[in-house]
Amino acid sequence: MEILKQLSVFVANRPGSLARISALLAGQGINIQGLSVADAVDHAVVRFIVDLPARAMVVLSEAGLLVLESDIIALHLTNRPGEMSELGNRLGQAGVNIEYAYGGMGVGDASGVLFLKVSDEEQAREVLAGMGL
């Protein structure tokens, strides 16, 4: 388990918006390690995990984009049936809500990464430590 910085960028929900942001980051040598896009009618929230979050925050802000930074939990999970069920049950029993999650496993891979935003990070840490994560 790791606590990482996540950047949330608010953009117009139009063709090319994600390409523009990605190009800004790539142009500064910033690597995208995780990505989620949540759409609404006229805008989208693009959530990024990047290797250089402080630099990415500056680059995106200087481009005139609204960027927010928050902590997110990164879990390395085994790719097996029931892994998410067990995780969700344990957090739920401890009163921790999973506000949102993203990540994935490569096809045929034995493990992957799950990024979690939770209602109580400290309680989640205790639960996850008890699970050996």
Same domain, 79 and 111: yes
Q: Which domain holds residue 86?
A: 72-130
Same domain, 92 and 64: no
For residue range 49-65, list pLDDT tens digits in order.
999 999 999 999 999 99
Same domain, 33 and 51: yes
Same domain, 66 and 115: no
Same domain, 31 and 90: no
Same domain, 12 and 53: yes
pTM: 0.88
CATH code of the domain containing 45: 3.30.2130.10
Average pLDDT, the chain: 93
Domain boundary pick from 23, 38, 70: 70
For residue range 59-107, list pLDDT tens digits in order.
999 999 999 999 999 999 888 889 999 999 999 999 999 999 999 777 7
Q: How many folded domains does the chain comprise?
A: 2
Same domain, 55 and 76: no
Same domain, 6 and 65: yes
- Distance of alpha carbon 111 from alpha carbon 94, whole angstroms: 25
- Distance of alpha carbon 130 from alpha carbon 13, whole angstroms: 41
